[in-house]
Structure 1
Amino acid sequence: MTALITERDLRALNSLTKYPSIPTYHALDPKNGGLLEAPTDFGDGTVIATEKVDGTNSRIILLPDGTFLLGSREELLYAQGDLIGNPALGIVEQLKPVAKTMTAVENFNLIIVAYLELYGGKIGGQAKQYTSDPAAFGWRLFDVATFPQWPAQLEWQSQQIASWRDGGGQSFVGEDELAKFAVEAGLPVAPRLLDEFYADALPRSVGDMHSMLVDVLPETRVWLDDKAGGRPEGIVFRTPDRKVIAKARYQDYERTLKRRGGAR
C-alpha cells in the first residue's frame, strides 16, 4: 500500500479512475445489436484516427508522492510496495516494470492515469492476431487523464463518483499533451492511421464506414511477430481535444452487413 492512499481510499480511487466506455460510431440497435444509420456527430473540426487494439484495458495510476498503482478496467491489482499482486491477465507482471520507469513524470500534485491496452500473450480470443508466442506481450498508450481535485473526490460517496464519471467528469488530455506525455514516459502510443482530417470526410453510412476500415486498416500495425494472424479490431476516431470520441469495429460492421445481405 502506498503512503498517500489509505485502504479506505481504494474503492473511491478505483471508481474515480475507471475508463469510460467508448460509444460506437454508428449507433447500436437495442433490438438486435446491429448498427443503425446514425453516425456520431464530430462537428466541423479535425479528427484523428487510431488503431483500436484488442487486448485488455489497463491503468497505471501515478500518485503525487511518486508511487503508483496498477489496475485492470474494473479493479485495482497492485500498489507499489506490495509483496503480492493480483495476477489477472498478466497486467501486474507486464506493467510493473513499465510503471517503475514512469514515476519521475512531473505530476504537479495531480493524480495522473495512463490508460493502456495490454495485448498478445493469452489475452482473449484475439491474442493470436498479434503474436504466435503466448509469452509475448505488447502495450500501447491510448489515453491519459488528470485528477486535480482528487483529495476532495476521494471523500465522495460511491454514487456521486459514478455519476460524475459516467457524466463525462474525467479530464482527459488532448492530442498534443498525450504525445508529450508518451515521450516523457517512454510509452508507445496506439498507431495513428491518418493525418488529421476534417469531420466531413468521415463516412456517413454503415457500408461506407466498412469500406474505410478495409482501406485504412486492412491489417494490424502492432504485430509482435510475423506469424500472427494480423486481423485488426477497428479504429477509434477522436477530436484533438477528445471532446468527441467513437469506435468503429470490424465485427460490428460485418455482422450488420451480413444481416442485411450485403457483407463483402
Structure 2
Amino acid sequence: MTNPYLAALNTATKYPSIPTYHPLNPKNGGLLDETTTFTGDVILTEKVDGTNGRIVLFPDGDFFIGSREELLHARGDRVHNPALGIVEALEPLAARLQPRDEHRQILVFFLEVYGHKIGGAAKQYTGNGNVDYRLFDIACILPDVLDWDRAQISTWRDNGGQRFCNEATLQRAATAEGIEVTPRLATLDADALPAGIQETHDWLTAYLPATRVALDDTAGGQAEGIVLRTVDRSVIAKARFQDYARTLKRRANGR
C-alpha cells in the first residue's frame, strides 16, 4: 500500500490479536496449563469462523471497508478489491451507517463475514451458498493517530491504543444500526470459569454444542469456539474447540 495516508489508516484500524484462554505453547502449538485471568462478570459469545471484515466510518460519513489485513473498498469505488466477498457482504451496511460520535472520532465496526466459500468452515454454516455477518466489536480512533509513522501506530494498536466499546455501548450501537451481534451465550462470574484443559473442552461443549448462526438447515453446524470478555472489554480471550482437541490428543499420545 503505497499511499501513506491509506497505509496509516489500514494499520490503525486493524483488529488486534486475541490471546487464547490457555496460552499456546510456541514449541508445539499445544495449550499450556495456565489460564487468562478474569475478574467480575465475564460475557461468553460465539466465535464465528469466517473472515474478519471492518467498516471504517469517518465523522463526515465517508467509509472504507477492509479485510483483516488490507483496505478493500471506499465509498465511491475510490478503492475496490472484491477479495473474499467482504465488500459485497458489507457495502450495503456501510452505506447506511450514520456517524454518531460527538467527539469526531473514526469508528471501526469489526464484523465476522461467514458462509459460502468463506474459510475452511464454510459448510458448517451453509450448504446452500448463503453469506452473512455478525458484529463483534466497535473501536473509536482519534484522527491524529493517522499522522504518526506506521511503526508507532502498530505499537500503539498492539498495546491497547484503540478504544473499544463496552458491552452496553456495543449493544446500543448494534440496535440503533440494526446489526446482529455474535450470539451471547451466558454471563458468568469469573470464579465459575474452567481451569484445566479437559475441563475447558467439556465446558465448551456444554455451552456451545453447535453453532447458533447456521444460515440454513443444510449446514454442518459445528461451532468454532467461545470468546470470553469482561463487561468493559478490558480482558478478552478465545477458546477454540480445535486447540483443546489437539492438545488432549497430544497428551493422550504422551507428547
TM-score band w.r.t. shorter chain: over 0.9
Residue 76 of structure 1: CA displacement? Answer: 0.2
Q: Select which of 61, 67, 71 maps to 1:66.
A: 61
- Corresponding residue of 2:157: 165
CA contact (8 A) 1:105 1:184 kept: no
CA distance, structure 2, for counterparts of residue 154 and residue 234 of structure 1: 34
- Corresponding residue of 1:115: 110
CA contact (8 A) 2:60 2:99 kept: no
Q: Select which of 31, 37, 40 maps to 2:33.
A: 37
Report Cα offsets for 1:59-97 as digits up to 9, x if no partner: 011101111110001000001011662010001111101
CA distance, structure 2, for counterparts of residue 8 and residue 253 of structure 1: 41
- Corresponding residue of 1:3: none
In the alignment, is residue 97 of structure 1 matched against residue 92 of structure 2?
A: yes
Residue 39 of structure 1: SS of its match in structure 2?
coil
CA distance, structure 1, for counterparts of residue 58 and residue 66 of structure 2: 14
Give the RMSD, CA atoms, in angstroms. Answer: 1.2
- Corresponding residue of 2:138: 144
- Corresponding residue of 1:184: 176
- Corresponding residue of 1:221: 212
Residue 28 of structure 1: SS of its match in structure 2?
coil
CA distance, structure 1, for counterparts of residue 77 and residue 219 of structure 2: 35
CA contact (8 A) 1:105 1:185 kept: no
In the alignment, is residue 22 of structure 1 matched against residue 18 of structure 2?
A: yes
In the alignment, is residue 13 of structure 1 matched against residue 5 of structure 2?
A: no
> What fraction of aligned residue pairs are identical, expressed as a percent?
57
CA contact (8 A) 1:239 1:245 kept: yes
Which sections of structure 1, spanning at least 5 residues, go unmatched?
1-6
CA contact (8 A) 1:50 1:236 kept: yes
Point out the more displaced range, 104-113 or 26-35: 104-113
Q: Select which of 43, 52, 64 maps to 1:48.
A: 43
Residue 107 of structure 1: CA displacement? Answer: 2.3
Residue 172 of structure 2: SS of its match in structure 1?
helix
The count of aligned residue pairs is 250
Q: Select which of 200, 222, 235 maps to 1:244.
A: 235
CA contact (8 A) 2:72 2:79 kept: no
In the alignment, is residue 155 of structure 1 matched against residue 151 of structure 2?
A: no
CA contact (8 A) 2:66 2:72 kept: yes
Report Cα offsets for 1:3-46 as digits up to 9, x if no partner: xxxx5411101000100010000011111000111100003x11
In the alignment, is residue 78 of structure 1 matched against residue 73 of structure 2?
A: yes
Report Cα offsets for 1:145-196 as digits up to 9, x if no partner: 001x21x2111011100111111111001000000010111110000001x2
Task: Tell me which amino acid in the other structure corresponds to 1:130.
Answer: Y
CA distance, structure 2, for counterparts of residue 164 and residue 84 of structure 1: 26
In the alignment, is residue 203 of structure 1 matched against residue 194 of structure 2?
A: yes
CA contact (8 A) 2:55 2:94 kept: yes
* Superposition TM-score, scaled by structure 2 size: 0.96
Residue 199 of structure 1: CA displacement? Answer: 0.3
Residue 178 of structure 1: SS of its match in structure 2?
helix
Residue 231 of structure 1: CA displacement? Answer: 0.2
After the TM superposition, which parts of structure 1 deviate over 4 Å for at least 4 consecutive aligned residues? none
Task: Tell me which amino acid in the other structure corresponds to 1:246.
Answer: A
Residue 109 of structure 2: SS of its match in structure 1?
strand
